[in-house]
Amino acid sequence: DGQALPGGDLAARLRFLTEADLLKSVHRANTLIDASRRENSGEHSWHLALYALVLGGYAGAGVDPGRVIRMLLLHDLVEIDTGDVPLHSAGGQAHHSAAVQAAETAAAERIFGLLPVSQAAEFLSLWREFEAVETPDAIFAKALDRCQPAIQNLRSGGAGWVEYDVTLADIEARVGPWVEQGAPEIWNWLWQELRHHFAE
Amino acid sequence: DGQALPGGDLAARLRFLTEADLLKSVHRANTLIDASRRENSGEHSWHLALYALVLGGYAGAGVDPGRVIRMLLLHDLVEIDTGDVPLHSAGGQAHHSAAVQAAETAAAERIFGLLPVSQAAEFLSLWREFEAVETPDAIFAKALDRCQPAIQNLRSGGAGWVEYDVTLADIEARVGPWVEQGAPEIWNWLWQELRHHFAE
Ligand SMILES: [Ca+2]
């Protein structure tokens, strides 16, 4: 309600939303499906939230699709400071390095820290939950975050994979377990499509 | 649950999500805040959903922020077929013309029609509600959709306004009533910022 939101808080929230605009200039390894350019992390976040809205019925028990959408809207904001670390870069090793995780945590604290304290704490907690991939909501969100770039690459003819020398076995190892855990029916579909693509 | 979602439905949903990728290539009149390029409607939709998440506390009574987010994730998909019709083009007359509205309705039926029937009907209904701007959720969603490009223009130094010869009175007429109705505190803030910008 309005009484809980004095004018100073509104200015802080709008500064955060202005900062968020920078995510539209962070580029990812995969392209748009027409291969015209690389995808940016802002439009990727929209596409993922739409995935959650459309595919919520494939989530496991106890998943709250609205909460997954909130998680996905926020999940990449840290890349404003750190950039996107491609899943398949450095032979798949860079993505989960301790250095990357420390930088992302510092970024989350800075960026969510632009907000009034209670909202900052709420968003930081949602981001940490996504990163930990332990709750049903985070497990489903992570499944979608692994599945969407694979579909972008499939539908664009695999351009993003060629650049990083990605094999079917790499995808099975780096994408498969996450999608299978969070959305097994989607993994069944994706695995068939992937095998067909790499057999060609 | 899985039984309600046979494999054919999954393929249809993924075709819809592939089609949605095209929204990332629809460009708007306003730029990113750093003025490096025009904003596209995919990343705009993400930014708006984030606005709803961050600013939900400024909504009027009876607004469901989660439903507003769903509405905003879907609201611009019709532009895949029609393109974005800038608010300030043709002296502000083009945006609500009957021809534009008929084209957008046909686009909504085609694009949401890619989905299984029950989800297609649900999304079409949410999109129609947004367009009608009569319910509390749609009134708040529309306020955000008018407010975000104005803030992009303010923060980028007004590049998008110069191109269309937009005056303070134009914004007061084309943006003001919507933001004031859906989020009066935000309009108070924005109006002060706008007056300051145009006085310089
Ligand atoms: Ca629009």
Mean pLDDT within B143-172: 94
A55 vs B13: CB contact, 8 Å cut-off? Answer: yes
pLDDT digits (tens, 9 = 90+) for B33-68: 999 999 999 999 999 999 999 999 999 899 999 999
Provide the ipTM. 0.94
Residue B87 clears pLDDT 90, i.e. is over it: no
Taking the C-alpha atoms of residue A178 and residue A8, their distance in angstroms, rounded to an integer, is 41
pLDDT in tens, A34-64: 999 999 999 999 999 999 999 999 998 999 9
User: A21 CA to chain B: closest CA distance, Å?
Assistant: 7
pLDDT at A191: 97
CA-closest candidate to residue B151, choices B175, B133, B178: B175
Residue B27's nearest CA partner among B19, B15, B36, B18 is B36
How far apart, in whole angstroms, are the C-alpha atoms of residue B108 and residue B78?
A: 5
d(CA A55, CA B35) in angstroms, rounded, equals 35
C-beta of residue A1 within 8 angstroms of C-beta of residue A17: no
Q: Please report the pLDDT score of residue A89 as a whole number.
A: 80
Does residue A38 sit in helix, strand or coil? Answer: strand
Mean of all residue pLDDT scores within chain B: 93
pLDDT tens string B22-35:
999 999 999 999 99
Quote the strand ranges of chain B, DSSP E: 27-31, 38-40
- What's the pLDDT tens digit per position in A60-107? 899 999 999 999 999 999 999 999 888 888 777 777 788 989 999 999
The predicted pLDDT at position A73 comes to: 98
Task: Search chain B and give the residue with CA nearest A32.
Answer: B21
Rounded CA-CA distance A24/B31 in Å is 11
Query: Are B13 and A155 within 8 A, CB to CB?
Result: no
Run of H or E including A101: helix A98-112
Q: Is residue A69 within 8 Å of A52, Cβ to Cβ?
A: yes
pLDDT at B5 over 70: no
Q: Are A41 and A84 contacting, i.e. CB atoms less than 8 angstroms apart?
A: yes
pLDDT at A5 > cutoff 90 = no
What percentage of chain A carries pLDDT values higher than 70? 96
B47·A50 Cβ contact <8 A? no
Distance CA A137, CA A129 (A): 9
Domains and CATH numbers, chain A: 2-199 (1.10.3210.10)
Burial classification of residue A75, based on how many CB atoms lie within 10 Å of its CB (0-12 exposed, 13-18 middle, 19 or more buried): buried
C-alpha distances (whole Å) from A189 to each of A44, A175, B11, B23, B189 are 21, 13, 8, 24, 49
Cβ neighbours around B198 below 10 Å, total: 15
Identify the pLDDT of residue B4: 46
Inter-chain touch A18–B33, beta carbons under 8 Å: yes
Cα A149 to middle of ligand 1, angstroms: 26
Chain A residues whose beta carbon lies within 8 Å of the beta carbon of residue B145? none
Residue A95 DSSP class = G
> Taking all residues of chain A, what is their mean pLDDT, rounded to a whole number?
93
Ligand 1 center to B84 CA (angstroms): 6
Q: List, for residues A107-124, the tens digit of each pLDDT value.
A: 999 999 999 999 999 999
pLDDT exceeds 90 at position B7: no
pLDDT > 80? residue B85? yes
- Mean pLDDT, residues A14-26 taken together: 98
pLDDT of A2 reads 40
What is the reported pLDDT for B92? 75
- Whether B97 shows a pLDDT value over 90: the answer reads no
Residue B62 CB neighbour total at 10 angstroms? 10
| Whole-angstrom distance, CA of residue A17 vs CA of residue A22 | 10
Please name which of A60, A2, A31 lies closest in space to residue A162, comparing C-alpha atoms. A31
Angle (CA) A118 A124 A128, round 5°: 145
Kind and range of the H or E element at A31? strand A27-31
Q: Are B81 and B103 in contact (CB under 8 A)?
A: yes
At a CB cut-off of 8 Å and minimum separation 6, what does A183 contact?
A: A55, A58, A59, A60, A140, A143, A144, A147
